[in-house]
Amino acid sequence: MGTTRRFADWESRDEAQRRAGPALAHEAIATLGRRLGAVVAAMPAAPAVDGPLAGLTVAAKDMIATGVHAPSWGRATPCTGLAPRAAVLRRLDAAGAVLVATAEMTELAYEPSGHNASRGRVLNPWDFDRIVGGSSSGSAALVAAGCCDVALGSDTGGSVRIPAACCGVTALKPTHGTLPLDGVMPLAPSLDTVGVLARSAADLSRVWPVLSGTAPEAAALPRRAVVLDDALDESEPAVARACEEAIDAIAALAVAVTSRPGFPETADRHVLALMQAEAARTHAALIDDPGTEPVLRRRLAKGLAIDDRALADSRAARAPLREAFLAAMLGGADVAILPVMPIATPRVAGVTPGDPAFDPKRLYALSRFTRFVNHLGLPALALPAGFDPAGLPVGLQLVGRPGAEAQLLALGRAVQARTGWHGRVPRAVADTITTGWAA
């Protein structure tokens, strides 16, 4: 689909290419990144630091404090003053990675399509008429277009996995509580995680030990995986077909793949209540702020209608629902498999409030298969799984047991060693990519 050109992973570049990476990234940020509307601020050049990630280039969602740029949180003007650099960025700095830009996002990280009425929308490098996904929209677009190697985002209900699926990149949503959140704007603290996006699971595997502060782990592939049949049945045929092809690639790795009916509907209902209630309480001061986008103001106000008892009930339901999912849905398996989204990446108009073509059901569907993972606090990996008939990428989601990030990444690496979906150059920007990172 699209073009036969492919990006090289950071891991596969030689030493000279890695040394040249920051200069090339700064050039790409200033040109292609700006053209896509994905950049809030370019970071000043920094001296090289030796380490396991020396030369790796990073963009950070503009809710992660850099210490050199006041974050906007996706709003028209900065929300806060200059804050100390976030812990996740300090860890990457110490390993030699280079922050090259801050990335655009949806307002308060509270919108799944990428729509931002205050700052304008980020363009999807595959098709400018399609959504880029949210809320980590700029992070996904910059990785997809080859402007940086890795991007940090946040994931409260799917905010790294949805844009990863729309843009054809790989994203890891860690186990809740694994990565530090100091210096990161809160939305719904019971659900918030820092997530990370890259071209490949191989690149994420290099970054994950640094971010998590753990020793590099040679994790074994899962022995068993279970497909959530109800999610495939609910998906559009083109999405289901692409995911089934990716599932075949997993089965070819000698992973025993079975299927099971059912979907964690109760967890999905609780996560909506929890997200709405906590977001409203976290950002209550912005509900009456005329600078807040009107649709977002109404969404936040709706969360205040959820009383404290209902909020406490949704929080209390997490542990038993997680145990029920692990026992009944996963059973003896290590990984649950389902699409990232049940629908193909939609056109912008269809999920933009106020547009005559707006369909609220399609907007709701974007996070239909991702939200429950946040309520259960589980890790998940989003992988490119081929393309639909319109040439747009489709995403597959792998959900693991608590703390199983290394195992998910091992499975992702093995799948991507057999497939080439993750390396494709997006067709809408193929002619502008001249960095030498694409073959």
CB 114 within 8 A of CB 106: yes
Three-class HEC string of 205-261: HHHHHHHHCCCCCCCCCCCEEEEEHHHHHHCCHHHHHHHHHHHHHHHCCCCEEEEEC
Phi, psi of 304 (to 5 degrees): -70, -20
92 vs 90: CA distance, rounded Å? 5
Catalytic residue among 72, 113, 135, 190: 135
Is 135 among the residues known to form the active site?
Answer: yes
CB 212 within 8 A of CB 174: yes
Catalytic residue among 137, 159, 200, 235: 159
Element (H, E) at 202: helix 201-212
Calculate helix-pair angle for 237-251, 405-418, nearest 10 degrees: 100
Residues, the chain, total?
Answer: 439
Is 113 among the residues known to form the active site?
Answer: no
Q: How many CB atoms lie within 10 A of CB 194?
A: 26
For 86, 90, 139, 218, the CA distances from 210, given in Å and listed in that order, are 14, 10, 19, 15
CB 169 within 8 A of CB 122: no
Within 8 A by CB and 6+ apart from 102, the residues are 39, 40, 41, 43, 59, 60, 61, 62, 64, 66, 69, 71
Is 190 among the residues known to form the active site?
Answer: no
CB 280 within 8 A of CB 306: yes
Element (H, E) at 14: none
Beta strands in 18-139 (DSSP E): 39-42, 57-61, 98-103
For 36, 59, 123, 190, 379, the CA distances from 196, given in Å and listed in that order, are 20, 10, 20, 19, 12
Catalytic residue among 61, 72, 173, 212: 61
155 vs 114: CA distance, rounded Å? 13
Q: Hey, which residues are catalytic here? A: 61, 135, 159
